[in-house]
Amino acid sequence: MAQHFLLSAKARTLSLRTVFRMTEEQAYSLFCEMRWPENDGAGICPRCGCTEAYHISTRRKFKCVACHHQFSVTSGTIFASRKMSFCDLLAAIAIFVNGAKGISSLQLSRDLDCQYKTAFVLTHKLREAMAREDIGRQLSGDVELDGAYFGGYVKPANEKENRRDRRLAVNQNGKRQVVVVGRERGGESITVVAKTEAHGGALVTASIHHMSIVHADEASHWDDLHGRFATRRINHSVVYSDGVACTNQAESFFSRLRRMEIGTHHHVAGPYLASYAAEASWREDNRRVDNGSQAMELTAASMEAPVSRSWKGYWQRAEH
């Protein structure tokens, strides 16, 4: 079997600089290799699965030998009906992964000299592709579990009191949501958005292998973890970490999500919180991977992602 494209030297060297030197034809070929690695980049009919297709290179279309269906490299993917050139699309992905605390749609539209609306939808599609990588994921080994609230009222300063105060109904305005993360040490993460940390925690723990060691803080709703997992608890109000139990990885995730909120998007709560959380966890999980490989991984994930139900024709719909 041919070496997976993502493991090739070509994929590893796809930095932003390389992308900007590519011709449109080279960028197009790259998308074909990403879409159909098992067929060496030659089109596979999305309708009947036939691996032979005529390549109408002038129009960058394929026509299935068996059923005559016409398709393009992005048909049926999250990039279907794209307006950008393949070069610009690759550049957008490279710029997107380079932003350690995210990148705003406005910044991307300036960098690429494209419409704000185009950049807005594209960045959300990329987050959707990132989030898809979490589907069906199971965590094992040492798993850190923690939650943090976004939106609504948050009392500033005084960490210890703050942790209690935020749980009082009087300090909530109904817009508050909690992000709960489960992070494997040295591995991958799962994030969920819920109304309460207990509810979000239940969703995350459903994806943790029963032989795992789960690390969580002193909050009482984590007490029932002890019946299901080997559990280590830390008390934030006494020490940050006692050396055995620790949630530093989870803290690191929340620190990145806060930096995205404060430094880039200014407001990440509301309907998009789940997608920003998925983006932050993808960035955390891939933080030691070089940018070129990250760009290629995200391109490949996008080519595996189906047409977006949320973002397809977003600006064409009446309510916008």
Query: Which segment (44-52, 214-222, 225-233, 286-294) binds Zn ion by CB under 5 A?
Result: 44-52
Smallest gap from residue 70 Cβ to Zn ion (A) = 10
When asked if residue 80 is in the footprint of Zn ion (CB under 5 A), the reply is no
Q: What is the 3 state secondary structure string of the chain? A: CCCCHHHCHHHHCCCHHHHHHCCHHHHHHHHHHHHCHHHCCCCCCCCCCCCCEEEECCCCEEEECCCCCEECCCCCECCCCCCCCHHHHHHHHHHHHHCCCCCCHHHHHHHHCCCHHHHHHHHHHHHHHHHHCCCCCCECCEEEEEEEEECCCCCCCCHHHHHHHCCCHHHCCCCCEEEEEEEECCCCEEEEEECCHHHHHHHHHCCECCCCEEEECCCHHHHHHHHCCEEEECCCCCCCCCCCCCCHHHHHHHHHHHHHHHHHHCCCCHHHHHHHHHHHHHHHHCCCCCHHHHHHHHHHHHHHCECCCCCCCHHHCCCC
User: Residues binding Zn ion: what is the number (CB under 5 A)?
Assistant: 8
Smallest gap from residue 47 Cβ to Zn ion (A) = 5
When asked if residue 47 is in the footprint of Zn ion (CB under 5 A), the reply is yes
Smallest gap from residue 51 Cβ to Zn ion (A) = 10
When asked if residue 63 is in the footprint of Zn ion (CB under 5 A), the reply is no
Query: Which segment (60-68, 123-131, 156-164, 168-176) binds Zn ion by CB under 5 A?
Result: 60-68
Binder among 11, 19, 30, 64 for Zn ion (CB under 5 A) = 64
Binder among 10, 63, 69, 185 for Zn ion (CB under 5 A) = 69
When asked if residue 67 is in the footprint of Zn ion (CB under 5 A), the reply is yes
Smallest gap from residue 35 Cβ to Zn ion (A) = 15
When asked if residue 48 is in the footprint of Zn ion (CB under 5 A), the reply is yes
Task: List residues binding Zn ion (CB under 5 A).
Answer: 45, 47-48, 50, 64, 66-67, 69
